[in-house]
Amino acid sequence: MHSPSSNFTTNAAKASHNRSKALVLWLQLCTIVSHISPHLVELQGYPCETLMLQKMIEPFADTTLLKYLPQVLQFFQAALDQLLCLASLTMPQVIEILWNYHDRLHSDDPEFKTGSSALSCIKALRWCVKLLQLPFPDLYSGPISALTFAEH
């Protein structure tokens, strides 16, 4: 039988591991979008840049970060794989990436089973765009919203 203190230690270790994992993903994302985020451009070269980046995600639960960050990273990686300019993504480009994301979720591709959905990816992108003030097409517009209905 586990004592309450050993359960606390186990939970604290898991929380620390989750936060560390989320921080690694966050720093990867910040590297990818550092040139298009006004917040990140301002922090570049700042002596406490990494600390400030950590503070940006401090208010968010680890579960939220571990759900959203992999999806946002997959989205931006897909855009980069298509040689798209992240600073000037258009609505059709965003829709195409999201549509392909939706198609891959419903394929038999074992490397793309994330337990998420295109709607979840859209929510993650909205969160990221707002937090980092990224130049992005309106993720609340009709064409994007229509994708959320394609899943039902």
- Whole-structure pTM value: 0.82
Span of 44-58, 63-77, 109-123 with lowest mean pLDDT? 109-123
Stretch 42-57: mean pLDDT, rounded?
Answer: 93
pLDDT at 136 over 90: yes
In this predicted structure, what is the pLDDT of residue 5?
61
Place of tokens 């517009």: 141
**How does residue 116 score in pLDDT terms, banded at 50, 70 and 90?**
low
7 or 93, which is more confident: 93
How many domains does the chain contain in total? 1
Rounded-to-10 torsion of CA 121, 130, 74, 19: -100
Place of tokens 């970060």: 65
Stretch 53-66: mean pLDDT, rounded?
Answer: 96
pLDDT tens digits along 119-133: 889 999 999 999 999
- Give me the domain span that covers residue 70: 4-150
Stretch 77-85: mean pLDDT, rounded?
Answer: 95
